[in-house]
Structure 1
Amino acid sequence: MAEMSVDLVAVEQRLWSGNATMVVAQTTEGEIGVMPGHEPVLGQLIEGGVVAITTSDGDRVVAAVDGGFLSVTAKSVTILAESAEWAKDVDVDAVRQTLDQVGDDEEAAARARGRLRAVERM
């Protein structure tokens, strides 16, 4: 099966690096699915977005991301997020509490909703 090199990097840390068969990310232009051999593209990630990577082993890893960029070549995908958190590490109760308390802060609400979407996509 065809593979591509994928790096998921946040400002604070490298979250994941390895070979994958598919990457799905939410950009300002909509959701994009990338497989090996994809045409080159550069996309801006949305605040409160989700990135899902299907590894070469068939595992699926999902992260909630807040802003950043996605760079695609025929052989690689690089995701540079302003911040990111693994869906498996999201405290759902705390996120729901945050949603109840954010009021008119649309950016905080978008980040919280993105974390819940990441958990749903695991």
Structure 2
Amino acid sequence: MKTLTVSVVTPDGPILEDTFEMVSCKSEDGELGILPNHIPLVAPLIISAVRLKRAGETIRVAIGGGFIEVNENKVTILAQSAEKPGDIDVQRARKAKERAERRLKAKQDDIDFRRAEYALKRAINRLDVVEKR
């Protein structure tokens, strides 16, 4: 079966590089499914889980937004942050979620709501990736 070479890279370095049969991710315009021989593509990604499928197995990676580039059966995901389920600190993610929820409920003028919403989305995404291994 044909495969795609997939690289997930953050500013801190590579997170994953392997071959897969399919890549699913969420762009700003909706869900993308990438199969071998996909047309060239560049798209912005939102905070979400990237699903990598191979031989009936699905690997999920939590990303904090970024870009995907597809070209000649090579998929590169340039993510602001990315974590595999085994690398996610569940306690830290739960605390970040609770902290963001408290900030959003406080409704004080000195709270940066966009930042709190972003932190809440990241924490929820990280917890979802761990729970749906």
Query: TM-score range, shorter-chain basis?
Result: 0.7 to 0.9
Q: Residue by residue, what CA displacement relative to the aligned partner does 1:7-49 show, whole Å, maximum 9, x if unpaired? A: 1111101111121101111211122111101122211111x31
Instruction: Look up the equivalent residue of 2:89 and give its one-letter code.
Output: D
Identity %: 33
Q: Which runs of 5+ in 1 are unaligned?
A: none
Query: Quick one: distance in 2 between partners of 1:30 and 1:121?
Result: 21
Unaligned ranges ≥5, structure 2: 105-115
What is the aligned partner in structure 1 of residue 36 from structure 2? 36
Query: Quick one: distance in 2 between partners of 1:35 and 1:20?
Result: 9
TM-score normalised by the chain length of structure 1? 0.87
What TM-score do you get using the length of structure 2 for normalisation?
Answer: 0.80
Q: Does 1:98 align with 2:109?
A: no
- For 2:18 and 2:94, the matched residues in 1 are separated by 32
Aligned residues: 120
CA displacement, residues 44-78 of structure 1 (integer Å, 9 cap, x when unaligned) = 111x31112124x5543221111210011241111
The amino acid that maps onto 1:106 is E
Give the residue type in structure 2 aligned to 1:52.
Answer: R
Q: Which residue of 2 aligns with 1:24?
A: 24
Alignment of 1:68-79 (within 5 A): 68-79=66-77
For 2:74, give the aligned amino acid.
Answer: S
Summarize the alignment of residues 40-59 of structure 1 with structure 2, pairs less than 5 Å apart. 40-46=40-46, 48-55=47-54, 58-59=56-57
C-alpha separation in 2, matches of 1:52 and 1:62:
5
Q: What is the CA–CA distance in structure 2 between the aligned matches of 1:12 and 1:97, rounded to whole Å?
A: 23
Paired letter, 1:112: A
Greater Rg by CA: 2
- What's the secondary structure of 1:45's corresponding residue? strand
Kindly indicate which of the two structures has a greater share of residues assigned to helix. 2
Amino acid at match of 1:65: I
Say which of 101, 119, 122 aligns to 2:130.
119
